[in-house]
A and B are shown apart, each in its own frame.
Chain A
Amino acid sequence: MPSSALTAAHPLKDVTASDSALRRFLHGLPGVDAVGLEGRAASLGTRSIKTTAKAYAIDLAISMVDLTTLEGADTPGKVRALGAKAVKPDPTDRTTPSTAAVCVYPDMVAVAKEAVAGSGVKVASVATSFPAGRAPLTVKLADVREAVAAGADEIDMVIDRGAFLAGRYLKVYDEITAVKEACGTSARLKVIFETGELSTYDNIRRASWLGMLAGADFIKTSTGKVAVNATPANTLLMLEAVRDFRAQTGIQVGVKPAGGIRTSKDAIKFLVLVNETVGEDWLDNHWFRFGASSLLNDLLMQRQKLATGRYSGPDYVTVD
C-alpha cells in the first residue's frame, strides 16, 4: 500500500508552507461547472445494471457499507446487534459478504470491537466532536486518542467548516494533520467535509485537495446530520479529485459518500460513478465505502430477489 502522506520532498508540499500559498493553490484548481457536473452524474445514473452485473454490484456494495449508528440513544445492546448484523448481514444466506465496518461514537468503540472480533469487520469511530466539530483542538484530539486507544481501526473526523468558509485553510490543514498524527499508524483517517455546508462544488473540490494534502486516507462527504448529504454529483467530484491527486502524487485516497443513500439502486449508481471515473482500482472496500444504515437491508432484499426470483419484504431481513 502506498504511503498516505506526501514526503517532504514532494513539490506539492510547498503549497502548504503558508496560508497564502495554500490559498493560492486551492483557488488555482480548475473550477467546477455545476450544471455540467450534475449532468454527468445524472447521465451515469441512467446506466442499466442487470443480472450478473447486478449480483456482483450488490455484493460489492454490501462489502463497502460502513454500517452506522450515530444516535444519542445508542446503547451497548444496539451496538452489539449492529456488530452482529455487520458480520452476518443475512443469517439465512451464509454467502452474503460482511460489511466493511461498523461506525459508532467513540464511547461505543470497545463494545463494537468486541461484537465484530475475529470477523475482519473494522470498527470506525466518528471523532473530533462529531458532527459539529465545534470544540477546542485539544478536546478533538483527546476524542480521537480515546477512540484509537479503544481499538478503532478507522477515525471519521469532521473538518472545521467555519475555518474553511472563513478562508483559513491552513488552520483546517493543521487540524487534519494533528488528527492524522493522533491516529498513529493503526487507524486510517476519513476526513468529513460536510459538503452540504461547504455548499459550492468549488469548495468541495478545494476541501478534497486540502484533505488529501493533509494526509487523509479517505475523503468523506457528510455526517448524515444535515439536509444535503451524499449526492451523485458531490461524490463524482470527489472521485475526480482522488483520481487527479493520485495522478500527481502517486497516492491513492479512498472516497466515502455518507448519508441519504438508502436503496440498492442508489448504491449501484454510486458504483457506476466509481467504475467510470476512477475504475476498478477503487472498486474495493479498502478504497470506497458507503456510510449508511438502512441501505444494507435494501441491498439484502435485492440480493434475495436475485437469488430466488421473487420480491422480498421487510419481514425477511433483520431489523436491528
Chain B
Amino acid sequence: MAPVFDYAPAPESRAIVDIAPSYGLFIDGEFVEAADGKVFKTVSPSTEEVLSEIAQAGSEDVDRAVKAARRAFEKWSALPGSERAKYLFRIARIIQERSRELAVLETLDNGKPIKETRDADLPLVAAHFFYYAGWADKLDHAGFGANPRPLGVAGQVIPWNFPLLMLAWKIAPALATGNTVVLKPAETTPLSALFFADICRQAGLPKGVVNILPGYGDTGAALVAHPDVNKVAFTGSTAVGKEIARTVAGTRKKLTLELGGKGANIVFDDAPIDQAVEGIVNGIFFNQGQVCCAGSRLLVQESIQDELLDSLKRRLSTLRLGDPLDKNTDIGAINSEEQLTRITSLVEQGEAEGAERWSPACELPESGYWFAPTLFTNVTQAHRIARDEIFGPVLSVLTFRTPDEAVAKANNTPYGLSAGIWTEKGSRILAVANKLRAGVVWSNTFNKFDPTSPFGGYKESGFGREGGRHGLEAYLDV
C-alpha cells in the first residue's frame, strides 16, 4: 500500500541548555582556574564538536579542595541531621526542576540517547538524593549502633558512563551521613558535575561541602593518595580499582570500589521468550553496553538456541542508531575515541579467535564515535570476548545444557557484579540466584536500578554497596 512508516526526526531541543565556553574547578563554593592554568576540552562524542573548555585540576588543586572540604567538615558534620536532610531535599527538587536541561546536557557530553538520560538517568539521580536526604536524620536507627559518625573528607572518583547518576550515588550518601566531598568526574564527561556545582549554589549548600575537580587519571590518583582524605570511593575499571587498593593500603582510609563485570544473562528453555529477548537487548545495548553490570554474556540453553537467536536478531534489526538527541534513538554514540578503539580491538580479536560476528544492517553516522550493535555466536569460555569486559554494544553468546552447567559457566569469571535468569519456573529462579556469585541478580528482568536497592560486586567487581541502607555504611565510622 503506502510508504514505509519511517519516523521523522524528533530531536529534543538543545536550546534548553546553555553551555559556557569554559568552566573552572569548583572549590570552596567558587569556580576557579587550575593552579597551573591547565585546561582540556570536552567534546560531544556524537559529533566531535567541542562543547567547552574545562580547567584541569592538578595536585595543588587537589590539596586546595581537600583543605576546603576539611574546613567545611566541622560545621557540616555538626549540623543536625534534619538540616542536612533539607539541603539534600532541596538538591533533589532542583534536579527534578532542571531535569530536562540536565538530560540534554548529559546526552551532549556523554553521547547516550536522550531517551535514556530523560527516562532513566535523571529520574534516578533525583530519586537517589531524595532517598538519602531522608536518611540524614535517621542514622541512629540505621542499624549501625547509636550515633554513628561520618568519616571526614571523601575523595570520590566517578566514570563517564552515567556521569550524573554516579555523582548522585557518591555524593548523596556522603552528605547525608555528614561527610564533605571532593569529587573528580571523568575527563570525557565533566559537564554535568559542573552543572551540579551550580545546583549546590542554588540550594545554598555551605561552601566547601562539595568540591568538583575535573581532570584525568592523575588528578584522581592525587585525590586518592591525599593524606587528609578519610574515605575513597571509586567507580571504574578493575585495573584502576586495584591500583587504588594498593595506594590506600596501610592507611586508615575506608575504601569502596565498584568495578567491572562480565554479567551472565542465563536463558532457560522455559523462559518467557519475548521478554527474555527484550531483557537481553536491554542488558547489553542499554547505554551502548557501556555499563559495568551489562549482561554481556548470553548463556542460552542449547535446546532453544536457534529460536532465541532468530528472535534476537530480528529484534536487533529494529534498533535505531543515530543522533542521541533524537527521542527515537535507541543506540547513541560511544563515549570516546579511546573507548571505540578498545571495543574495535576486542571485537577484532573475537573474530580472529573464530567466533562468528553478526550485526544488523545499520548505517553509522560519518562523524563521531559509533559502533553497531554486535552479536558473537560460537563463543566459548576460552575466548577473550567471553572473559574481558568489552564495555560496548557487543554480546557474546554461549550455550549450556543443564542448570548446573549454566551456573558453573556464569560463575567462571574473576568478576561478580550482575547476572540475569530467565525461566518461568519459580523454584529454578531461586535455586540459580542462590548459586550465582554476583551482587545483583535480575530474574526475568535486567538492568533495573533503584535508590533503595543495594548495588555492588563480588570478587574483582569490587566491594562495598551503593544504594539502600547498605550504602550508608561506606560513609560511616562503623
Contact = CB atoms under 8 A, between A and B. Distances in A.
B8 A52 contact: yes
Given A32-B274, A33-B444, A46-B115, A53 B7 contact: yes
Contacts, number: 76
Given A271-B5, A280-B4, A284-B1, A50 B271 contact: no
A49 B320 CA distance: 14
Contacts of B190: none
Given A31-B272, A36-B278, A49 B7 contact: yes
Interface in A159-179: none
B206 interface: no
Interface in B59-96: none
Nearest to A247: B310
Nearest to A35: B445
Contacts of B250: none
B478 interface: no
Nearest to B7: A53
A251 to B, nearest CB: 18
A30 B271 CA distance: 7
A53 B327 contact: no
Contact of A56 (B2, B115, B271, B274): B2
A276 B318 contact: yes
Contacts of B272: 30-33, 36
Contact of A40 (B2, B273, B275): B275
A57 interface: yes
Contacts of A46: 115, 119, 327
A36 B274 CA distance: 9
B6 interface: yes
Contacts of A33: 272, 275, 424, 444-445
B300 to A, nearest CB: 14
A53 B273 CA distance: 31
B430 interface: no
B274 A240 contact: yes
Given A37-B275, A276-B318, A47 B445 contact: no
A162 B275 CA distance: 29
A156 B272 CA distance: 30
A121 B429 CA distance: 52
Interface residues of B, number: 26
B30 interface: no
A53 B6 contact: yes
Interface string B429-461: 000000000000000110000000000000000
Interface of B is mostly: loop
B3 interface: yes
Contacts of B318: 276
Nearest to B304: A30
A40 B5 contact: no
A56 B4 CA distance: 9
Interface string A245-277: 000000000000000000000000001000110
A285 to B, nearest CB: 8
A48 B2 contact: no
B142 interface: no
A47 B330 CA distance: 10
A256 to B, nearest CB: 17
Interface in B96-155: 115, 119
Contacts of B270: 30-31
A30 B273 contact: yes
Nearest to A201: B272
B10 A36 contact: no
Interface string A8-37: 000000000000000000000011110111
Contacts of B4: 280
Contacts of B8: 49-54
B5 A56 contact: yes
A50 B278 contact: no
B46 interface: no
Contact of A275 (B5, B9, B271): B5
B42 interface: no
B323 to A, nearest CB: 12
A48 B274 contact: no
Nearest to B281: A40
Given A33-B444, A48-B10, A48-B328, A60 B5 contact: yes
B279 interface: yes
Contacts of B1: 283-284
A33 B276 CA distance: 9
A49 B10 contact: yes
A30 B1 CA distance: 33
A52 B3 CA distance: 11
A10 B358 CA distance: 33
Contacts of A39: 278, 445
A57 B5 CA distance: 7
Contacts of A276: 318
Interface string B248-274: 000000000000000000000011111
Interface in B1-57: 1-10
Interface string A45-71: 011111111101100100000000000
Nearest to B3: A56
Nearest to A276: B318
A236 to B, nearest CB: 9
Contacts of A284: 1-2
A259 to B, nearest CB: 23
A50 B275 CA distance: 28
Interface in A111-148: none
7 contacts: A33-B275, A36-B274, A36-B275, A36-B445, A47-B327, A51-B8, A56-B5
Given A30-B273, A31-B270, A49-B7, 5 more contacts: A33-B445, A46-B119, A52-B8, A53-B7, A276-B318
Interface of B: 1-10, 115, 119, 270-275, 278-279, 318, 327-328, 424, 444-445
What are the 6 closest A-B residue pairs judged by CB atoms, nearest first?
A: A36-B275, A48-B10, A31-B424, A48-B327, A53-B8, A33-B272
